[in-house]
Amino acid sequence: MTAPRRAPRYTGVRTFAGLPHAPLASALGDASASPAGGLGGTDPAGGRAALAVVGVPFDTATSWRAGARFGPEAIRSASVLLRPWHPLHGVEVFGPGAIANASAVVDAGDVAITPGNAQRSVEQIAQALSALGSVGITALALGGDHLVALGELRAHASLHGPLALVLFDAHADTWDDYYGERLFHGTVIRRAVEEELIDPARSLIAGIRGSLYAPSDLDDARALGLELVQIDELRATPPGAFAARVRDRVGGWPAFLGFDIDAVDPSAAPATGTPEVGGLLAGEALAFVRELTGIRFVGYDVVEVSPPYDAPGQITSLLAASVAYEMLALAALGRLGLG
Amino acid sequence: MTAPRRAPRYTGVRTFAGLPHAPLASALGDASASPAGGLGGTDPAGGRAALAVVGVPFDTATSWRAGARFGPEAIRSASVLLRPWHPLHGVEVFGPGAIANASAVVDAGDVAITPGNAQRSVEQIAQALSALGSVGITALALGGDHLVALGELRAHASLHGPLALVLFDAHADTWDDYYGERLFHGTVIRRAVEEELIDPARSLIAGIRGSLYAPSDLDDARALGLELVQIDELRATPPGAFAARVRDRVGGWPAFLGFDIDAVDPSAAPATGTPEVGGLLAGEALAFVRELTGIRFVGYDVVEVSPPYDAPGQITSLLAASVAYEMLALAALGRLGLG
Amino acid sequence: MTAPRRAPRYTGVRTFAGLPHAPLASALGDASASPAGGLGGTDPAGGRAALAVVGVPFDTATSWRAGARFGPEAIRSASVLLRPWHPLHGVEVFGPGAIANASAVVDAGDVAITPGNAQRSVEQIAQALSALGSVGITALALGGDHLVALGELRAHASLHGPLALVLFDAHADTWDDYYGERLFHGTVIRRAVEEELIDPARSLIAGIRGSLYAPSDLDDARALGLELVQIDELRATPPGAFAARVRDRVGGWPAFLGFDIDAVDPSAAPATGTPEVGGLLAGEALAFVRELTGIRFVGYDVVEVSPPYDAPGQITSLLAASVAYEMLALAALGRLGLG
Amino acid sequence: MTAPRRAPRYTGVRTFAGLPHAPLASALGDASASPAGGLGGTDPAGGRAALAVVGVPFDTATSWRAGARFGPEAIRSASVLLRPWHPLHGVEVFGPGAIANASAVVDAGDVAITPGNAQRSVEQIAQALSALGSVGITALALGGDHLVALGELRAHASLHGPLALVLFDAHADTWDDYYGERLFHGTVIRRAVEEELIDPARSLIAGIRGSLYAPSDLDDARALGLELVQIDELRATPPGAFAARVRDRVGGWPAFLGFDIDAVDPSAAPATGTPEVGGLLAGEALAFVRELTGIRFVGYDVVEVSPPYDAPGQITSLLAASVAYEMLALAALGRLGLG
Amino acid sequence: MTAPRRAPRYTGVRTFAGLPHAPLASALGDASASPAGGLGGTDPAGGRAALAVVGVPFDTATSWRAGARFGPEAIRSASVLLRPWHPLHGVEVFGPGAIANASAVVDAGDVAITPGNAQRSVEQIAQALSALGSVGITALALGGDHLVALGELRAHASLHGPLALVLFDAHADTWDDYYGERLFHGTVIRRAVEEELIDPARSLIAGIRGSLYAPSDLDDARALGLELVQIDELRATPPGAFAARVRDRVGGWPAFLGFDIDAVDPSAAPATGTPEVGGLLAGEALAFVRELTGIRFVGYDVVEVSPPYDAPGQITSLLAASVAYEMLALAALGRLGLG
Amino acid sequence: MTAPRRAPRYTGVRTFAGLPHAPLASALGDASASPAGGLGGTDPAGGRAALAVVGVPFDTATSWRAGARFGPEAIRSASVLLRPWHPLHGVEVFGPGAIANASAVVDAGDVAITPGNAQRSVEQIAQALSALGSVGITALALGGDHLVALGELRAHASLHGPLALVLFDAHADTWDDYYGERLFHGTVIRRAVEEELIDPARSLIAGIRGSLYAPSDLDDARALGLELVQIDELRATPPGAFAARVRDRVGGWPAFLGFDIDAVDPSAAPATGTPEVGGLLAGEALAFVRELTGIRFVGYDVVEVSPPYDAPGQITSLLAASVAYEMLALAALGRLGLG
């Protein structure tokens, strides 16, 4: 072992993978801090962070189980098992070797959200991530329920225009409202299309399965222009071939990579808001994300981890941390011009 | 055993204590049903229910753990251990002997609420309970987080005027807002005072304890006119003496009896939204409620049970069901002119 | 979303998938109710139910873990995640579109059983399901331990003669006795053969695996005429091909479809009476059931879910509910002449 | 520390408190073993055991939660925390110093019972404990549900005549039948009275509480001649005074000491078959048992521990082991002529 | 509410009670940081911290359950429920008002320990806390198993000379060795006496109970000069009177206040290494600590919380955080010259 | 069923699979016992045991979660579900038919280890297993963390010379030290190579995956001469082909078969020290072990089961027991000259 830490991994305040903590203070409206300074100051080389892991502890918008507000804490806790070197890509995901152009990976803490107020929270998320993006810092968000992606997409689209969405999810999340509420975790993709944050013609949702209220649940998603990949088709596709299909769909566009943990089977991801039987196995989940090289992702998230349902093995949080790690590896490859 | 059921208690769809199920359809806006009809029809003697247990599965307004949306389900599940005869009061709490004026106790199902929308949910609760109250049915609500009491109190006050509040709670719940949200589980009592749903001069909150943000957290409650009983004072008072003090405070006024399960110590009530160490023991909790005879309660609730934190022993749900049972006994005594 | 409910799915007393509750009172010997009336009355169109989901909370006959008495409650709790439209079959599983000949799907509550008395309980189950069957209502039973199938098969065979049994199970359940007890969850299939409730020559058990007491454990099952499909053979067979093999075996006979949840691997179904490592994955389980179209099933069950071992993720109950949903889809296809 | 073991307490096959294992083979009908030989052979001094801890893993007779079949295993697991010296009595509970007349304490393994067959199991228990008693070995039984006490009492009464019963229990267990079953955990005390195994006039049940089906639930118990001590009265009595009252009641008669773990509050004993809120605190439970010196107990049990509801803290099993330890201390005092 | 935070308490990387994070880098041998700088820099007023909460995630020295290595993480997680104002003492425990001489309270992260090496870990703890103490920062340590106190006491005694020990614990922890190991959680107090880190004549251990290996287990502790208070005596003493007795014993000496969570009953503290039935209730635990004003404590700890045994309610961690809060309040009173 | 036991499997003190208990006393230094006598005496035919299952409850050497000290207890508990006949190999794994040369399979209890002292514990393990080996008894060890294998390998190599190692593991465990500790669960294979206990050129580790500290983590393992099989390669290889490859590698040499449960995916083995997402499925794990016939294994182990993380389903322990059963089957085939 090349000892990368002074003490065992279970030592110290939990940041994602033990990364430096660079609180996202200024993005939250605290005048005494600035994201450039705060986030840049963590880089021993004096540079600015290239990527920030940021928690979004919001779960007001769930239709079944709540609890995702504790998702960032639990994913951070499990993530300290992650190590910097990714042997399959041959890349250092964080740490000195992960740096290109003197950049680094940090944990920027959590976005301040407003429980019970979806509208305000989405806007808080959008502002926080815009602040990061405006100084060139890519965000990997840890949810929170899936609605948090609306705030993320607002931030990213404000900088990059409509994005190609690459999403792993059991559900299309294109309902129009939920008992009158238009900002809900099952409406987030429709809102993103309506607000022109994503370009449906370059977007794809994979892992779709389960019973529906009506055929329109999926027909409407397709009518919006989204491409849906059913779980059986997904699992029958080798990860490399799936990645090629995604690259074709995305077509070089700036893209967003989202992972709703309910894309995975409940045996491997029991702790989620709306579990759906028959999903990806854990190894498949990692492989499908891992192969998505060569795409210009400008943002990432892993959402819908609900820790109260994860004890005692905490396998969902560990899986979510591992999915996030694969995303960080894609980002590292991109920074190094390798992927 | 006098067999009151055809099969073991774990048999059948779970209603509270196995009571007849009389869904609260009309209160939910379904024109094809009427509460009088629906709820009255369950009484074999052809009469109308005197009291309805009703669930309020709402937890948007929590500041720490969510999950109380599953409270009604879990309390119902545990409640099938309850039996009709209350030996200490010598009264049949439900069943034929609980009847005065040909009334009965039923489970009216749940109020339809709107997750993510506190304002609308409170109004839905108010309307549902007003519909019950307007035909003379007393409601015992199973929360849900404490904000649901605002809807209840609106309903009861619309029929009875400002109420005397008798509340067991670790917290005064008189903050003004929570990150800008004025409808929150920590603001519910202030709202009730402001809306003149309760008369602070006849109200009392018992079980107060724990660290504060500032002295004003309690001073403000007192400034509103509320009487606060700290946990040490409460535990040092015999239940009978406490009841006498409450009767003095209430002064014959129509009253509401609320029980936030966090009044109880986490050892006996671990599964709650904002646990506070050092509360009532379980036996004390039952005794303090049990002794509150001779008060004209027009409504009851037990709130803040969060089942995801209760496995595997489910002791919080069982305690909540037992507290509700003591309330039902008080109601039965009242109907029979005995308490 | 086409809102099929007035409120979120976690609202209300838990019936299977939120179906109308039509208690099976008369079948339980209550003279004041009649199954035709009770069960028919739930159909808004005035017709009679075509299929009733019915719980059988019996677990006296287990050889390792008990707890299946709480199976019906837990499966109902998880089942509210199910929605009416089955996209792969393109059929409405329950609700208006699921109707053929003015029929509907209801939750008939639980059979009254007698804990500690296997003989009487089996007879109670037989009588309750016979009562349903005699008015043309198909039953889908939620166990309870596997012995409950003996009661079911007695009911079905009394109406249809010996049945073809299609069973997913890790064990053949053809022991002769268990410490002298002849009615046990490991003897149920032998009893069914002896009582000529099933025709072994048209029957098949798939998913067999695990250590045995002696070679005779399986040899005896084969000597009875049953066809056994070992787990490796099953998993190597595409679901469509397996369904064809089953149709060949059944040969148009009236059939019973049983699913012992221990057919599934403990990773996806930990909460069961006698778990056996190396079973079906969850997605495989659904697919094998889903493909069994074109068979005249006159009864269904899902058994051996033991909820105390399922917390906190409750994945076994969700899987069991999903398996039951696939069975309901097969029944809907049959009613509509589509499967 | 005086090291009494060769290795840490979590080492080795789990016997109660790490006691020598002297399987109760002959009592189970195995001709190749004899209780005298088997049990005596464990005493290094060549003598015979004075007391045997014996498990009774039977739970067919429960009315709510099953699982007590795993009670002996779980209590043994927790019991390895127990150490030989009882500082309050100043006596060695097991080990060399616990010996009077060259006797010792052993773990005799479990009684062979027949799941699903209450009648046969009770008889198996009676025979096993009679075999022990006939060679002068006192039994401390670990349940199992409360029905197992019927078998124990048959064994003890066959040797000593009707016993004085000293029982801690939330329930009187004097129903006549449970859905027709006369051997059930709620009927065990009535059966014992009817069979003249206990003398009600010298017996007492303490810890009674909770809702009833009817006043007769307790009136019937009193009509049988039993003395009932309600929980409030019990908790208001100092342990020493309670012990004096028990000694008065027992009057020097041979006695049996039973402890149904549901006498304790669910906060300290969540894992039990029929929990009842408001019971003894854990320290009170130990103190009430501890003070019962000066009574000629010929048998002991601790029943109704249901381990599936005890994870992860396993506090119920630890409490049960500690209660059993207090019983062993009483027995040691008796053997030494000290109590 | 006076909003002391920008976002709900479940937001952000978890430090104790949301305190500023001032990593203890230099104490760990990292030349690039200095405790004065690092810890002082967290005070907006430019001053140095007065008190640092520091985790010690070490559990190599346990005799039954391990897991206390995750204690600091779990206690931090629960501690975010704590608020700055202590209403019973009328003091701000942390935050601006807690400052005397421009000091503040911070979370200094964790001590770097060496799993599997008790000797080296104790020395690492001693060095880290000495570094803090040498710049005038008082430490409140979160264990970890009880052996960590040896390191703490070495640090404190090096600055203050032999200390008066005030310890709540079920066990005296004065064994000489454990299977040959002299640094173990059951030997820590003997080592502290031998190393003259504490003055037994001014020390006291309260909460003693449970079975022993031999009378010497306690006699040896007394022979060392320690005063032991058995649990029954402790619980029978009012907290104020107990505090007076402690003050008498301590006699103005610099003192150390330790709290082994197993002093509390398993019903309120199930998640600990060696639980002992019959301990303090949670409210009693807080009260006994709260009253210990007027003593010059130079260090504090809360040890033996083992989180794997605390799910899902996490009541042990919450209790430990609350005990630590009472200690912080004592420290605040001391800084302000009030206690 | 051919009743192989007098009572249900949940009856009696838990030995592995209910095997005879032949404590390993003499190996632990107890002069009053001898392994030949003790272990031989359990064979009714008077012969000596051929194979002993032995627990090694040691977990001082873990880098993330502890708890494996309770592994032997938990695996024994789950193992009572195992039955003697292995239908796929057609061999009796234990019991009369498993005997060749009058040998038998027993449970030898646990090795006495020294918590907190890795060096001494490894030596204790080595001595205990050498004692067994010296009288011709093969050991199957139940860990304990992976370091216990060093003791095992010392014992086996002392009798057989350097062994071929066949290991399933997510990690290569070839670090040089862990914070200075050279005896750690992540250094065990390097130590075994350095001590020439295994011959790297005949050894293979399969199941490798996950993030690394640096490329050297695996390069160093290869530089030692070990062959590593990555998880994707392993899962793409049919079990029979993998077994052939192993046989080629081993080349007839005496071999050791180790199974670190973290080779399996956390969905099927959540309860382990350092879980790694994306491992073997449970059925694959059994199949890969099952096919390893024709190799002269002189020792076996299953390690890294940490029961505190396994509740309530206990699927990891059941899987570990099942893996051990496949090992026992290989041993039985070997004894019978069949495999």
Find out whether the peptide bond into D144 is cis, omega within 30 degrees of 0: yes
Round to whole Å and give the CA distance between A321 and A16: 8
* Cβ C164 vs Cβ C256: under 8 Å: yes
Q: What is the pLDDT of residue C24?
A: 77
Q: Do E64 and D85 touch (CB under 8 A)?
A: no
Q: Are strands C91-92 and C85-86 parallel, antiparallel or unpaired?
A: antiparallel
Give me F142's structure tokens: 């139940």
* Cβ D167 vs Cβ D206: under 8 Å: yes
Find the residue in E nearest to F57 (Cα). E64
* Cβ E286 vs Cβ E108: under 8 Å: no
Q: What is the pLDDT of residue E100?
A: 52
Label residue F25 by pLDDT band (50, 70, 90): low
Round to whole Å and give the CA distance between A61 and A117: 9
At CB < 8 Å, which residues of chain A contact B? 59-63, 65-67, 69, 114-118, 120, 178-181, 183-184, 308-309
Give me E229's structure tokens: 């208070």
- Which of D179, D265, D308 has the CB atom closest to B282's CB atom? D265
* Cβ D142 vs Cβ D72: under 8 Å: yes
Round to whole Å and give the CA distance between A232 and A229: 8
Q: What is the pLDDT of residue A24?
A: 77
**Nearest-neighbour CA in chain F from E127: distance (Å):** 17
Helix-strand-coil split of chain D, %, nearest 5:
40, 15, 45
Q: Determine the 3-state secondary structure of F181 from DSSP.
A: strand
Label residue B25 by pLDDT band (50, 70, 90): low
Residues 6+ apart with CB under 8 A from D184: C116, D61, D63, D118, D147, D175, D177, D178
Give me E30's structure tokens: 């990292």
Q: Give the number of D-E residue pairs with CB atoms closer than 8 Å.
A: 97
Q: What is the pLDDT of residue D39?
A: 54
Give me B75's structure tokens: 């309390």
Q: Do B117 and A180 touch (CB under 8 A)?
A: yes
Residues 6+ apart with CB under 8 A from A66: A59, A273, A306, B59, B66, B67, B69
Q: What is the pLDDT of residue F160?
A: 98
**Nearest-neighbour CA in chain A from E107: distance (Å):** 9
Q: Percent of chain E at pLDDT above 90?
A: 85
Q: Is the pLDDT of residue B298 over 60?
A: yes
Chains that touch C (3 or more CB pairs under 8 A): A, B, D, F
**What secondary structure letter does DSSP report for C166?**
E
Query: What residues of C are in contact with residue F265 (Cβ under 8 Å)?
Result: 267
Phi and psi angles of residue A248, each rounded to the nearest 5 degrees, phi first:
-60, -45
At CB < 8 Å, which residues of chain D contact B? 63-64, 175-179, 186, 210-218, 231, 235, 265-268, 270-271, 274-279, 281, 308-311
User: Residue A5's CB: how many other CB atoms inside 10 A?
Assistant: 13
CA nearest B67: which of F81, E195, C10? C10
Query: What residues of D are in contact with residue E176 (Cβ under 8 Å)?
Result: 1
Q: What is the pLDDT of residue C339?
A: 73
* Cβ D198 vs Cβ D170: under 8 Å: no
Q: Do E267 and D281 touch (CB under 8 A)?
A: yes
Query: What residues of D are in contact with residue C62 (Cβ under 8 Å)?
Result: 115
Round to whole Å and give the CA distance between C285 and E44: 60
Label residue B75 by pLDDT band (50, 70, 90): very high
Sign for the pseudo-dihedral over CA of D320, D322, D323, D328? positive
Label residue E30 by pLDDT band (50, 70, 90): very low
Give me C338's structure tokens: 């589509």
Chains that touch A (3 or more CB pairs under 8 A): B, C, E, F
Label residue F34 by pLDDT band (50, 70, 90): very low
Q: Is the pLDDT of residue E74 over 50?
A: yes
Round to whole Å and give the CA distance between D147 and C96: 50
pLDDT tens digits, E145-170 = 999 999 999 999 999 999 999 999 99
Amino acid type, E145: D
Q: Determine the 3-state secondary structure of E186 from DSSP.
A: coil
Q: Is the pLDDT of residue B16 over 50?
A: yes
Q: Which residue has the tokens 């309805």?
A: B52
Q: How many CA atoms lie within 13 A of D139 on its CB side?
A: 35
**Nearest-neighbour CA in chain E from D256: distance (Å):** 24
3-state secondary structure string, E193-206? HHCCCECHHHCEEE
* Cβ E111 vs Cβ E27: under 8 Å: yes
A163-177, B16-30, F13-27: which range is least confident on average?
B16-30
Q: Do F181 and E60 touch (CB under 8 A)?
A: no
Q: Which residue has the tokens 């075994």?
A: F192
Query: What residues of A are in contact with residue B59 (Cβ under 8 Å)?
Result: 66
Q: What is the pLDDT of residue B5?
A: 67
Q: What is the pLDDT of residue F273?
A: 96
Amino acid type, A44: P
* Cβ E277 vs Cβ D283: under 8 Å: yes
Low-confidence ranges of chain C (pLDDT < 50): 1-3, 26-38, 40-45, 101-102
Decide: residue B196, CB within 10 A, 0-12 exposed, 13-18 middle, 19+ buried.
exposed
Find the residue in F nearest to D29 (Cα). F6
Q: What is the pLDDT of residue E2?
A: 44
Low-confidence ranges of chain D (pLDDT < 50): 1-3, 26-38, 40-45, 101-102
pLDDT tens digits, F40-88 = 444 444 567 899 999 999 999 999 999 999 999 999 999 999 999 999 9
- Which of D7, D87, D283 has the CB atom closest to E265's CB atom? D283
Higher pLDDT, B48 or D132: D132
Label residue B104 by pLDDT band (50, 70, 90): confident
Query: What residues of C are in contact with residue D120 (Cβ under 8 Å)?
Result: 180
Give me C204's structure tokens: 């098949």
Round to whole Å and give the CA distance between D331 and B201: 60
Q: How far is CA D3 from CA C81, E212, F30, in A?
A: 57, 11, 14
* pTM of the model as a whole: 0.96
Q: Where are the alpha helices (DSSP H) in chain E?
A: 35-40, 71-79, 118-134, 148-160, 188-194, 216-223, 231-235, 239-250, 282-290, 315-335
**What secondary structure letter does DSSP report for D185?**
T
Query: What residues of D are in contact with residue F115 (Cβ under 8 Å)?
Result: 8
* Letter string b/e over residues D261-279, b meaning 16 or more CB atoms within 10 A of that residue's CB: bbbbbbbbbbbbbbbbbbb
Query: What residues of A are in contact with residue B180 (Cβ under 8 Å)?
Result: 114, 117, 120
Chains that touch F (3 or more CB pairs under 8 A): A, C, D, E
Residues 6+ apart with CB under 8 A from B11: B5, C55, C57, C110, C111, C112, C113
B13, B16, B59: best to mutate for the C interface, most C CBs within 10 A: B13
Q: Do C113 and B77 touch (CB under 8 A)?
A: no
Query: What residues of B are in contact with residue D231 (Cβ under 8 Å)?
Result: 283
Q: Determine the 3-state secondary structure of B308 from DSSP.
A: helix
Q: How far is CA C124 from CA C106, C128, C130, D177, in A?
A: 20, 6, 10, 18
pLDDT one digit per residue (tens) for chain A, 339 residues: 444 567 899 999 999 999 999 987 644 444 344 333 345 444 444 557 899 999 999 999 999 999 999 999 999 999 999 999 999 999 999 977 665 544 589 999 999 999 999 999 999 999 999 999 999 999 999 999 999 999 999 999 999 999 999 999 999 999 999 999 999 999 999 999 999 999 999 999 999 999 999 999 999 999 999 999 999 999 999 999 999 999 999 999 999 999 999 999 999 999 999 999 999 999 999 999 999 999 999 999 999 999 999 989 999 999 999 999 999 999 999 998 887
* Residues found in chain E: 339
Q: Do E217 and D85 touch (CB under 8 A)?
A: yes
- Which of B8, B73, B115 has the CB atom closest to C8's CB atom? B115
Chains that touch E (3 or more CB pairs under 8 A): A, B, D, F
- Which of D286, D287, D315 has the CB atom closest to E270's CB atom? D315
Q: Do B315 and D211 touch (CB under 8 A)?
A: no
* Cβ E96 vs Cβ E84: under 8 Å: no
Query: What residues of B are in contact with residue A69 (Cβ under 8 Å)?
Result: 66
- Which of D7, D12, D30 has the CB atom closest to F6's CB atom? D30
Q: Is the pLDDT of residue F333 over 70?
A: yes
**Nearest-neighbour CA in chain F from A42: distance (Å):** 21
- Which of B60, B183, B309 has the CB atom closest to A308's CB atom? B309
Q: Do D308 and B313 touch (CB under 8 A)?
A: no
pLDDT tens digits, B161-200 = 999 999 999 999 999 999 999 999 999 999 999 999 999 9
Q: Is the pLDDT of residue F28 over 80?
A: no
At CB < 8 Å, which residues of chain E contact F? 59-63, 65-67, 69, 114-118, 120, 178-181, 183-184, 308-309
**Nearest-neighbour CA in chain F from E174: distance (Å):** 18
* Cβ A224 vs Cβ A190: under 8 Å: yes
pLDDT tens digits, E264-296 = 999 999 999 999 999 999 999 999 999 999 999
**What secondary structure letter does DSSP report for D330?**
H
Query: What residues of F are in contact with residue A281 (Cβ under 8 Å)?
Result: 265, 267, 281
